[in-house]
């Protein structure tokens, strides 16, 4: 076995690990987002926000937005597990959208939003750096 073949096998291993890792992260991010949306729809009294919030929207509306985004994220994660090419682009797009939504969600639940933003950044990094060789 030549050195080039050995390096190619190592790269394949990292690519496979990166794909599965990114899919798992996207699935976890989608589940976190789903729980966040369900809690906003079910219990409006759980969240407290100051009256001077610029992006003020009804919490039930925010909850449904989070639920829809999470369902799309979970579907994309399943697509990544199956190796679908469209899922990589979809993962970056949905994680970017999730970052924007959670930035707007910061006044309602700041620590949770920061956690989801961090997970989304790792998802984008994992998907963007994955090379299928």
Residue found by looking up tokens 């496979």 in the block: 16
C-alpha span between 33 and 63 (Å, rounded): 9
C-alpha span between 113 and 58 (Å, rounded): 17
pLDDT of residue 13: 61
Sign (positive/negative) of CA torsion 6, 10, 12, 13? Answer: positive
Sign (positive/negative) of CA torsion 91, 65, 117, 32? Answer: negative
For residues 40 and 130, the answer to whether their CB atoms sit within 8 Å is no
What are the mean pLDDT values of the chain's consecutive 10-residue runs (133 residues total)?
61 65 87 87 65 68 89 93 86 92 84 88 82 58
């Amino acid at each position: 076995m030549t050195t080039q073949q050995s390096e190619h096998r190592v790269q394949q291993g990292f690519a496979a690990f990166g794909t599965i890792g990114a899919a798992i992260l996207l699935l976890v991010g989608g589940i976190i987002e789903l729980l966040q949306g369900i809690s906003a729809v079910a219990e409006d009294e759980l969240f407290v926000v100051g009256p001077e919030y610029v992006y003020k929207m009804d919490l039930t509306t925010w909850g449904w937005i989070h639920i829809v985004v999470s369902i799309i994220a979970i579907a994309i994660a399943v697509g990544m597990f199956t190796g679908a090419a469209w899922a990589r682009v979809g993962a970056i797009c949905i994680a970017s959208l999730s970052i924007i939504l959670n930035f707007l969600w910061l006044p309602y639940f700041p620590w949770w939003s920061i956690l989801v933003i961090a997970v989304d950044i790792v998802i984008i990094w994992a998907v963007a750096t994955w090379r299928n060789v």
